[in-house]
Structure 1
Amino acid sequence: MIRLYPEQLSVQLQQGLRGCYLFCGNDPLLLQESQDTIRHTAQRQGFTEYFSIILDGHTEWENIFTLCQARSLFACRQILLLIFPDSGLTTLMSQQLIRLTALLHPDILLLLRANKLTKAQQNSAWYKALSQNAVFVSCQTPDQTQLPRWINNRAQNMKLDIDAAAIPLLCHCYEGNLLALSQMLQKLSLLYPNGRLTLLHVEQMVNDVAHFTPYHWLDALLTGVSGRTWHILQKLQQEEEPPVILLRVLQPDLLLLLTLKRNMEQVPLCNLFEQHKVWQNRRNIMTEALQRLSLSQIQQAVHLLAQIEIELKHDYGQSIWSRLETLSMLLCGAALPESFLDVH
């Protein structure tokens, strides 16, 4: 199966329309734009009918199969979009998809949309059956490292020439919010029709509408970038994210760090990662944190986390944002007063 990003779709489509496109990710803008790009191309090739079905326990699969079998000399070419449930496919759905793959033909363009696919699903019979003539389009919101590439590609497609210094500012203000970022680039292109955007132009226009989850905060903590950590924490507080969720997100990784740190001198880190089932895409960031933080710092953070949880048990309604700020400072390497460093 071909794998690509949404901005690469146009080039692929010039090489020919495939029989199936699988959109996988959570970004509304990327999902919608990818679908629209393929639909417009397909319509020019005679795919004039469009059916969209959300899969659930009540899906009438026989109707879908009948749709695929209804071929005649005068039948229209059809686009069929199947939207997977957020919870993933059931065993029955997977079985029905296998049956569906056997019914596909050149007059049916199959589009599949899923928030994510597990490794098991990518090894499933239906996935393998589609792989020979399918394209996997990653529609995951670009993270901090990928966003500059996305902005550069977007700007080039819009014939915009953005100062290199302005791109980090756009990343800072719009991370996690591609729709708002796309709208801002469109606004800038209208205000500056010559396409030349300086840092000053961008500074005058941008708004801080970045959208973060507690997992962004966790990754910032592990990398130790204090400014980014502080920014994310402030945004989460402004958006009224329940602070207890941040504690629940941090706790397992912090306890894992403590275990790894205690054992990494006796056991190779790669073996510890395997033993504790640390996913491959998390190993670099965990290694970075282990190299940066001392055993004492990790112990202090665990102690402070336990203190915060005890305080919440006594008074669940109290604000713990200031304590989360202190915890963030500690994990980013800041020196704290003695009152915070008394580990029992």
Structure 2
Amino acid sequence: MKIRPEQLKSHLLKELLPVYVVSGDEPLLAQESADAVRHEARKQGFSGRKVFHGDGNFDWGNLHNEANALSLFAEKKIIEVKIANGKPGDKGSKALCELCANPNPDNLLLIILPKLERGAQNSKWMKTLESLGAHIQVWPITGDQLPRWIKQRLLQSDINANQEAAEILAERVEGNLLAAVQEIEKLKLLATDGNVDAIKMSSVVADSARYNIFEFVDKILIGDAQSAARSLRGLHSEGTDAIPLLWAITRELRILVKASEQVSHGEQRDWALKNAGVWEKRMPLFRKALQRSSAAHLRMLLYQAGAIDRGIKGMRKADVWDEITTLVLSFTGSQTLKPSNIKLLIDH
């Protein structure tokens, strides 16, 4: 079955299925959907968790072994498979179908995917997963939808905001849902009476360090390596968390990868950028980035961002800020990143 993200909470109150698939390129909504599944699974006794990354080097036999492994303590567990390119390949497709053919009641399978192409949506492996479980498709919040989404999130935090206040925050975050949620957390502390008007919203968002992240990302897109590196050092010295900073970079990379692939198939550049979700006033920045970067180079940057993310989460040894610096300089066109660096980051 297919479930919209807003339906997931009520669904989980009724039942917990053996398989869940979360797909989409909006990091915050995808993360929240996956977290909701994990939370309910833990409540129902799935105390263990094993995470696999189904990339090109992954041995899908390991997934089969884990699914059938006997635990010393008879532990129920979540088996999580993250497939960064959305394509498990022939071996992966077969492995997923075999798991669904012989489900183990002590396992919950959680598959994390990017936005799926039509072929993947209609594939045998996806249909098999959906027949046994639920597929939560996450779609980006458009510019027109964002003020309403912000108002809903504010209400969930017991904050009432008028339309003008919601539009001010929407314009400020420019589609970055993580930044919007962070501002809402700040408002929970400052809006003691539970009401936010345009004046209060403007004062709250006027001087926030995380908007320096937006300016920092703009410098990357323009290709100003020196200025971007200086901003990165400043953000680090201010104590900025690496996670939202990396998410901001990764979000732009995903947009550029999607647009560059469409351009390589003959699509007009501006239309490809618009189709990838670029707002009109940010179009010049993305044009510059797209002009200087090939699709292959952008994908390589995205792989590095994924490796850094695993470093932040403690899944590999990493000097996170040095690696982010390398990523930034390569993104600006300084050509400091080579395929050999990628291999080191992923395999280290």
The TM-score range, normalised by the shorter chain, is 0.5 to 0.7
% identical aligned pairs: 31
Residues 220-235 of structure 1: pairs in structure 2 closer than 5 A: 229=280, 231-233=281-283
C-alpha contact (below 8 Å) 1:50/1:78 kept by paired residues = yes
What is the Cα deviation at residue 103 of structure 1?
A: 2.7
2:178 is aligned to: 179
Q: Shift in Å at residue 153 of structure 1?
A: 2.5
Equivalent residue number for residue 134 of structure 1: 133
- Given that 1:161 and 1:196 are in contact with CA atoms closer than 8 Å, whether structure 2 keeps it comes out as yes
Task: Provide the C-alpha distance between the structure 1 equivalents of 2:12 and 2:45, rounded to a whole number of angstroms.
Answer: 15
Matched, 1:3 2:16: no
Partner of 2:346: none
Q: CA deviation at 1:175?
A: 2.4
Distance (whole Å) between structure 1 residues aligned to residue 119 and residue 203 of structure 2: 48
CA contact (8 A) 2:61 2:95 kept: no
Q: How much does 1:26 deviate?
A: 1.9
Cα separation, 2, equivalents of 1:129 and 1:233 = 40
Displacement of 1:199 in angstroms is 0.8
Q: Where does 1:74-113 land on structure 2 (aligned, <5 Å)?
A: 74-86=73-85, 88-113=87-112
How many pairs are equivalent? 238
Counterpart secondary structure, 2:48: strand
- Alpha-carbon distance, 1:149 to partner: 3.5
Unaligned runs of 5+ in 1: 249-316, 318-344
Alignment of 1:128-207 (within 5 A): 128-206=127-205
Bigger drift between 73-82 and 204-213 goes to: 204-213
Matched letter for residue 69 of structure 1: N
2:289 maps to what in 1? 242
How far does the alpha carbon of each residue in 1:172-201 deviate from its partner, in whole angstroms, 9 at most, with x for none?
A: 111231111110111011111222111111
Task: Compute the displacement of 1:130 (Å).
Answer: 1.9
Counterpart in the other structure of 2:302: none
1:141 is displaced (CA, Å) by: 3.1
AA partner of residue 2 (structure 1): K
Structure 2 residue runs without a partner (length 5+): 216-247, 260-268, 296-332, 334-348
**CA-CA distance at 1:73 after TM superposition:** 9.8
User: Residues 222 and 18 of structure 1: is their aligned pair in 2 closer, same or farther, counting only changes over 3 Å?
Assistant: closer
Contact 2:24 2:138 (C-alpha < 8 Å) held by counterparts = yes
Residues 201 and 85 from structure 1, CA distance in 2 versus in 1: closer, same or farther, beyond 3 angstroms?
Answer: same
Q: TM-score, normalised by structure 1?
A: 0.61
SS of the aligned residue for 1:152 comes to helix
**Residue 67 (structure 1) aligns with:** 66
Q: 1:87 to 1:105 in 2, by over 3 A?
A: closer
- Structure 2 counterpart of 1:314: none
Amino acid at match of 1:39: R
Alpha-carbon spacing, 1:106–1:152, altered in 2? closer, same or farther (3 Å) = farther
**Secondary structure of residue in 2 paired with 1:47:** coil
Relative to structure 1, the CA distance from residue 55 to residue 161 in structure 2 (aligned partners, 3 Å threshold; closer, same or farther) is same
- Once the two structures are superposed, residues 116-163 of structure 1 have per-residue CA deviations (whole angstroms, 9 ceiling, x without a partner) of 222222222222222233222233431213323321321121111111
* 1:132 aligned counterpart, secondary structure: helix
On the 8 A contact 1:141/1:178 being kept in 2, the answer is no
The one-letter code of the counterpart of 1:163 is: N
Q: Answer yes or no: is the 8 Å Cα contact 2:19–2:132 preserved in 1.
A: yes
Q: CA deviation at 1:222?
A: 7.8
Compute the displacement of 1:91 (Å).
2.2
Q: Pairwise CA RMSD of aligned residues?
A: 3.2
How many angstroms apart in 1 are the aligned matches of 2:86 and 2:100?
Answer: 22
* Aligned 8 A contact 1:101 1:126 in 2: no
What secondary structure, in the 3-state scheme, does the structure 2 residue paired with 1:80 have? strand
TM-score by length of 2: 0.60
